[in-house]
Amino acid sequence: MVEVTVTPQSSLADRPVQVQVRGLSPSQLVTLRASLTDEHGECFQARAFFHADGAGEVDPGRHAALGGSYAGVWPMGLFWFLQPDTLFRRLVKRDVAGSPFLVRLEVFDGVRLVTGPQDQPLASCEAERWYVGPGMQRVPIREGRVRGALFLPP
């Protein structure tokens, strides 16, 4: 049974995570895809193609991506190379304290340049990427023409 995991499942957005796929056939060609929908409903995606190792595993931190959104060994490549489906959109988090970005990770058999609703992943999981740690207090700043926010630790 194929399984994709991200460790830790919930983390701050600037912290590295480890993505692993297990249960593949040795040398199986797969597509790993990361996707998220921002607060405006815009979709962002990244994908990379990998050959599973002799144990039937894929680890972007150890195995080189053969192509897709990037090539080579990039442990966080699926997160760093997220691109908008709609041109000229930017990935911006507005509600930094109230909710995380939910990044969906999926693994597909073979090379998938485009995936549609009929394409079923072999496995999937979700990662929470928070922008503010637990207990952080946000204080709005308004002084003259200056606008901002002060984040105070617990």
Domain ranges of the chain: 3-152
Query: Is 58 in contact with 32 (CB distance < 8 Å)?
Result: yes
Q: Could you tell me the pLDDT band of residue 61, with boundaries at 50, 70 and 90?
A: very high
Which of the four pLDDT bands, split at 50, 70 and 90, describes residue 100? very high
DSSP 17: -
pLDDT higher than 90, residue 94: no
| Residue keyed to tokens 């002799």 | 54
Overall average pLDDT of the 45-56 stretch: 97
Average pLDDT, integer, range 83-92? 92
CATH of domain 3-152: 2.60.40.2240
Residue 134 binned pLDDT confidence (cut-offs 50, 70, 90): confident
Please, which residues have CB within 8 angstroms of residue 34's CB and are 6 or more apart in sequence? 45, 46, 47, 78, 79, 82, 103, 104, 105
Say how far apart CA 121 and CA 24 lie, in whole Å. Answer: 13
- Partnered with residue 22 across adjacent β-strands are 3
On the 0-12 / 13-18 / 19+ scale of CB atoms within 10 A, 58 is buried
Which one-letter amino acid corresponds to residue 154? P
